[in-house]
Amino acid sequence: MTIVGKTRLTATVGIWGLWVATGEANAVTLGAEAAATVGATDNANASLSGEAKADAFISGRVGGRALWVLPSGSHALTASADVSTFLRGTRGTFTQEQVGWTTKIEPTGRSTLALSAGLLHGRLGFLDAAPSVNAAQPDSQARPAGAISYGALLLREEFAWAPTPKWRSSQALSAAGFTPLEENAGRPHSWAVDNELGLFRVFGLNQFGANARAGYARNSGVERNGVQLTPERGLTYGDANGVWKRSWTEQWSSDVGAGLFLAKADGQDVIGGPGGRVQGQYRDPDLITVTASAERRVQANVYLGDALVTEGVNLQLQRSIGKFQEWSLTLFGGYQRSRAVSEDSLYGNLAVLYARAGLAYDNQGSFRWSIDYLLSDQSIDRNTPEAMAAVSFSRNILSATLVYRWPAPRSVRGVPP
């Protein structure tokens, strides 16, 4: 998980159980993991440069996983809890607990079904604005500033079917909910659900197709000390894109999607425009991977209780170093701006420029370590006077992480990731 807006020291302890049922024998594999990260930032309180306070941070995490691999598929149960704090007390203590379940099965030889559910509880304290390297993670979403206790629920279902070697179809249903657990938190209770469909046809080195997505989100409005800051509101959103994917050579590939997006909040006019995604990638499995992408889309954000129109560009470089590729260098940077669909949302426009550099050593043994540097510069324009004035600030974060794993990954065979 990539944390932006609070870099942290992490201590992780995990225990896994694995049961492999082959019809002839059962095997159980146990494992444990412990990690520690130390770091510092020049702007722990996310303030203007003249008011910024430097601080070091520390956090701990415990977690566990049980994995069953059966002839019908795999099933995993996970649980974790972590706590983070600043050494000089610039900000308070922030926690998160999470439990989750994932199931992957193959109903037929040409189809797969994946189900997942996650329940989160914690205390937020930063605006986590810059996306993580894996932007699909929920933690890549912008989150509300201010230390509030919360609960969240994440559900997802994915189905893929290839009726013939050349035809492929996909479907994904997602749902999420967020609720503040404090009175006068100044944040809405919110939930969102969307469904996406895709159909593709392979022509040699090319793949053509289309996908469409539709969703609905709703928030309870914000009330503070008896004053209604924003009304209860529903939002409808969706997009449709034509898609072209091509493998130009063994190293070069591209992914282009173009279409339209639409969004409407209750009591407002429909907004929309061109949307889509463009990505190019150069990949040499033994040395380097370079990925450049640009995207414009609309998506719900349950942490903010709104839908956001998001535009961004990203560039990522990953380089493997060493005889056995045990060293890896990652450079990641980009620019993203978002605006709320609701005209009277507490959040208006968000812009963030970010860069990350990381060096890691992992020989698939018991130990893994990494050093990371993160720079983010972001600005927020509020829609309503009650939501505070516009905020702009920058932050530098430097951290180092050491991980111990038992058993070592290279000693485990036949265990799905």
- Residue 127, pLDDT > 60, answer no
- For 98-115, what is each residue's pLDDT tens digit? 899 999 999 888 999 999
pLDDT score, position 347: 65
Confidence at 406, pLDDT banded by 50, 70, 90: confident
Identify the bridge partners of residue 336 per DSSP, sorted by sequence position. Answer: 312, 352
Backbone region of residue 225 per phi and psi (left: phi > 0; alpha: psi in -120 to 50; beta: other values): left
- Residue 97, pLDDT > 50, answer yes
- For 172-212, what is each residue's pLDDT tens digit? 999 999 888 877 667 788 999 999 999 999 999 999 999 99
Domains of the chain: which residue ranges? 12-411
Domain 12-411 has CATH 1.20.1630: no
- Residue 68, pLDDT > 60, answer yes
Burial zone of 368 (CB within 10 Å; 0-12 exposed, 13-18 middle, 19+ buried):
buried
Q: Could you tell me the sign of the dihedral formed by the alpha carbons of 19, 21, 26, 29, in that order?
A: negative
- For 13-57, what is each residue's pLDDT tens digit? 333 333 333 333 344 466 777 788 888 988 877 666 567 788 898
Transcribe 73-117 into DSSP letters. Answer: EEEEEEEEEEEEEETT-SS--EEEEEEEEEEEEEEETTEEEEEEE
Residue with tokens 């449709």: 240
Instruction: Give the whole-angstrom CA distance, residue 258 versus residue 261.
Output: 10
pLDDT score, position 221: 82
Pick 169 or 416 by higher pLDDT.
169
- For 217-233, what is each residue's pLDDT tens digit? 999 887 777 777 778 88
DSSP three-state, residue 307: strand
